[in-house]
């Protein structure tokens, strides 16, 4: 099976379809080569699940995609958690950029 290029759009589409996500924000931190991504995922599938179970759901949903990239980070929230955080922060919250410099993973070839 040939590997296809992983993009922000392909990850967003996969998460929306596979996890019934109501909101997905994806950021390619690799400078466009598709090797490092951070995401914010809002899905009803996360209700009643702890962080570990949520991440396992995401990893299972993106098994093939994750196997092709080097760095992956996901913030998983229910709609209620997302709404509460947005109200507390006064607006848009970006995916986590831990381990980056200026939003880019260092040491990644472009």
pLDDT in tens, 61-92: 999 999 999 899 999 999 999 999 888 877 65
Lowest mean pLDDT across 26-35, 47-56, 100-109: 100-109
**Residues with Cβ < 8 Å from 19, sequence gap 6 or more?**
41, 43, 45, 57, 58, 61
Paired tokens of 86:
């947005």
Is 70 exceeded by the pLDDT of residue 93?
Answer: no
What's the pLDDT at 95? 56
pLDDT in tens, 16-39: 999 999 999 999 998 777 789 999
- C-alpha to C-alpha distance for 9 and 25, rounded to whole angstroms: 10
- Greater confidence, 32 or 98? 32
Domains of the chain as residue ranges with CATH: 8-89 (3.30.300.90)
Q: Is residue 76 a contact partner of residue 54, using CB atoms and an 8 Å limit?
A: yes
Dihedral, CA atoms, 85, 87, 88, 89, nearest 10 degrees? 80
- C-alpha to C-alpha distance for 94 and 34, rounded to whole angstroms: 18
């Amino acid at each position: 099976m040939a590997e296809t290029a992983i993009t922000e759009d392909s990850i967003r589409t996969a998460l929306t379809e596979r996890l019934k996500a109501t909101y997905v924000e994806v950021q390619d931190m690799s400078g466009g080569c598709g090797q490092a991504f951070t995401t914010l995922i809002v899905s009803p599938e996360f209700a009643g699940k702890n962080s570990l179970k949520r991440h396992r759901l995401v990893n299972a949903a993106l098994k093939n995609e994750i196997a092709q990239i080097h760095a992956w980070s996901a913030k998983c929230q229910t709609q209620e958690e997302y709404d509460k955080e947005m109200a507390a922060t006064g607006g848009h919250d970006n995916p986590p950029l831990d381990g980056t410099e200026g939003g880019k993973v260092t040491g990644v070839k472009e």
